[in-house]
Amino acid sequence: DGGITQSPKYLFRKEGQNVTLSCEQNLNHDAMYWYRQDPGQGLRLIYYSQIVNDFQKGDIAEGYSVSREKKESFPLTVTSAQKNPTAFYLCASSIANRAYSGANVLTFGAGSRLTVL
Amino acid sequence: RKEVEQDPGPFNVPEGATVAFNCTYSNSASQSFFWYRQDCRKEPKLLMSVYSSGNEDGRFTAQLNRASQYISLLIRDSKLSDSATYLCVVNRGGKLIFGQGTELSVKP
């Protein structure tokens, strides 16, 4: 079955450590996204990528980095510069990222819960 | 002011009730609209897209009022399994903006 796989599901990190969250999709989608969700809040966009080897900052990119070397993969690194990294991280993909297209419907992975100790 | 705002929850309703969720968006350049459902500690899943003429899917009806920049979701004959958080999502220039969600709890 096609879908998005995120790993790890749960991750604990000490302050000052970088961690990388994996996101892999086999849906042949061009666009991929990373969102962060805090309790009682909506999703906030960290980074997104419309095509391989290209990505753009979202609303809260500071302290995060990404790469898009393959169409299927969009890993997110949470760096030590991110001051409040404890959150639920969601990766998503869509057929495309176009202003007027219904292709913007997102498919999400199951998420990764990061806790900083 | 947030770009996408939803009714603050939670909504607690009995089985069989009709419940309506409201969502407003501030940017008139927004082009497409969606409702997603998120179960506790799970990922969001698309419930339905929202079309200008309004659209229905079984017990769910979505409406859009572009002049008032307002979106609604109506759930009729609510079931226990409808308990979840409902997220209003607006597409502005290819960027998907999420509301904070409205929690629904359906009780027996």
How large is the average pLDDT for residues A18-27? 96
Kindly list the residues of chain B whose beta carbon comes within 8 Å of any beta carbon in chain A. Answer: 4, 31-32, 34, 36, 41-46, 49, 87, 91, 93-96, 98-101
User: Per residue in A64-113, pLDDT tens?
Assistant: 999 999 999 999 999 988 889 999 999 999 987 664 455 578 899 999 99
Q: Which residue has the higher pLDDT, A102 or B31?
A: B31
A-B Cβ pairs (cutoff 8 Å, strict):
51
B48-63 pLDDT, tens digit per residue, is 999 888 899 999 999 9
Taking all residues of chain B, what is their mean pLDDT, rounded to a whole number?
Answer: 93
Contact indicator for A93, A4 with CB cutoff of 8 Å: yes
CA angle B97/B88/A103 to nearest 5° reads 65
What is the 3-class SS of chain B, one letter each residue? CCCEEECCCCEEEECCCCEEEEEEECCCCCCEEEEEEECCCCCEEEEEEECCCCEEECCEEEEEECCCCEEEEEECCCCHHHCEEEEEEEEECCEEEECCCEEEEEEC
How many Å lie between the alpha carbon of B49 and the closest alpha carbon of chain A?
A: 8
Q: In A, which residues are within 8 Å of B27 by CB distance?
A: none
What does the pLDDT read at residue B8?
84
B32–A100 CB contact, under 8 Å:
yes
Alpha carbons B104 and B63: distance in angstroms, whole number: 19
Give me the residue from B32, B94, B101 closest to A102, CB to CB: B32
> How close, in Å, is residue A109 to chain B by CA atoms?
7
In this prediction, residue A105 carries a pLDDT of 84
pLDDT band at B15 (very low <50, low <70, confident <90, very high): very high
Chain B touched by A102 (CB under 8 Å): yes
Please give the pLDDT value at position B52. Answer: 86
**pLDDT-derived band at A39, boundaries 50, 70, 90:** confident
Indicate the helix (H) or strand (E) that contains A88. Answer: strand A87-94
Pairing of strands B60-65, B55-57: antiparallel
H/E segment holding residue A91: strand A87-94
Among candidates B41, B46, B94 on the partner chain, residue whose Cβ is nearest the Cβ of A99: B94
Is B43 close to A90, i.e. CB distance below 8 A?
A: yes
Q: Is A102 helix (H, G, I), strand (E, B) or coil?
A: helix
- At A103 the pLDDT is 56
Alpha-carbon span A62 to A74, nearest angstrom: 17
Q: Could you tell me if A100 lies within 8 Å of chain B, comparing CB atoms?
A: yes
**Contact yes or no for A45 and B96 at CB 8 A:** yes
Q: Who among A43, A44, A99 is closest to B93 (CB)?
A: A99
